[in-house]
Amino acid sequence: MTKQAQNNLIVGQESSVDFKVTAAMVAQFAALTGDQSSLHTSAAYGRRSMYRTNVVHGMLPLAFLTVLKDIKIESHQAQIKSLFVRFIKPIFPNDLLQLISKVIKCEDKQAHLEFNVIGQNTKAQLTTGKCVIDFSESISGDDKKVSAGAASVVLEHLTEENQSYEDIKQTDVKQFPFQCDENHLLGLYNIIREGLNDKACPALKDWIKAVDARNILLSSLSSTMVGMCLPGKRATFMDLNLQFHDDIVFGQTYRFRSVVEFKSDSTQTLVEKVTIEGGDSSEAVASGQITVKVNDAPVQMPKITELKKANENIHLKDKVVLVTGASRGIGEVTAKLFSIYGAKVAVNYYRGQQDAQRVVEEIKANGGQAIAVGADVTDRAQVQQMVGRIVREYGTIDVLVNNAVSNFYTISFMDLTWSDFQKDLDVIVKGAFNCCQEVLPVMCRQKEGSIINLSTTAVDNPPVKQAKYVTAKSALEGLTRSLAVEFGSQNIKVNLITPSMVETDLTQHIPKIVKSGLIKDMPDKRFMKPEEVAQNIINLAA
């Protein structure tokens, strides 16, 4: 390295930048890269994913490599020439993040870095990687007007693929054309500026002078390939390894191309060879490899017509039933099954209004009675309003099913924050507490009622990395026993259902190898079906 360069960069030198990823940044990134994958942009799809919400594009935080203040050589412009990234844990909108880099090797006008993206609050490692940066004589950075956004780099509208692992064949090829210009770099700068406070954000002219961001932008197109093309909607991006052999030219058309080189049936992962081709060169501008997991499709709950065939009437006609968390999964099937037996059903939802309305419409189309009632069960005022509406509509509440849960996402105990822990306690325990306190006076007046709480066999046999879920369900069991003793003399039954693993969205994303281990310990060697749990709820309510 030159003497001047050695004065700027040394092995072991660290740099960091703090930033926040907002929903607006996700939308800008999706527009810029063409990655409109449902996991990132569709609230309905995110709610049915293993994360129960939308996830930030994995490549988005890497744009902040371009604003590392200490990784620079005076009067030189930095450009990434190779990039390896491993995505360890998901990042969610509004997360506070820190990107930390360390120089691990210095050569003449070149630096090798390792970097980590961590949560500012949890210190959990979310993304890790390495990159090689070249430094060349800096160009002058003219003042430019920062637009509200830039058109997509991708030149054609991409329709999100929805391929299963079985649909994809080795040697399958996907590609899309793209073209880059200065406006796209301005779009990338807008995203970075959104995530930084005003003090931390460099002026546009200084950013352009210090960094050639073309290759970071091109690297982001790997997200587009994975999320929109190969495999598309069901993708989980695992890692990227990309080397740049030449610079792209503004205004010229290139192709981002990916070929499936390897499939792993045991993990349902793909290894794809990627190349960036086109322009005036016959050689690839960049080449590398992507690893991606192909997830299973969301579990579809059975239709009422299917449930009718499997069940007989057990005299619940005209009973009024409130099922919390009934817009999907076990709650959805339970609501449908109650309606088959002639009950009037209140379908509670929190964020899934469309799904709840779909359940209600299906019940009505099959001759049943139902209403959708929105309420966050952790909010006492909302629960009070919900119960009041049901009583006004149907006159009473005969059965309460406390089914609402937060998520079943695995997280090690040392990575938990109390807010993570509190969220499960709030939804599972506080939610049941609020609903019981509002419904019990109604049941006491009529001297009859039934409350059914849903626990899990995981309380007695905890899975790994489920401390928050198991603790909350354990508390719910204690609440159930206490209420059963206190209100049994008033002809109010309080019971607990403790199913094993059930085929719903909550368990859909458990790796197959883990599922196989769990199934080995089950008497009938399979996960339960939601309708089996629902039938047991019906039996307790009758």
Catalytic residues: 469
* Element at 389 (helix H, strand E): helix 380-394
Are 537 and 343 within 8 A, CB to CB? no
Q: At what angle do helices 214-224 and 23-33 cross, to 10 degrees?
A: 90
Amino acid (1-letter code) at residue 81: K
Tracing tokens 């190349």 back to the chain, one arrives at: 275
* Long-range CB pairs of 113-117, under 8 A, 24+ apart, other chains included: 113/71, 115/65, 117/61, 117/62, 117/91
Strand locations in 245-384, DSSP E? 253-264, 269-278, 281-294, 320-323, 344-349, 369-374
Q: Which residues contact 322 (CB under 8 A, 6 or more apart)?
A: 346, 348, 373, 386, 387, 390, 397, 399, 400, 401, 435, 439
Instruction: Give the separation between CA 507 and CA 291, rounded to whole angstroms.
Output: 23
C-alpha angle 378/380/384, rounded to 5°? 125
Among candidate residues 41, 55, 39, 49, the one with its CA nearest the CA of residue 93: 55
Among candidate residues 37, 42, 40, the one with its CA nearest the CA of residue 21: 40
* Element at 119 (helix H, strand E): strand 110-119
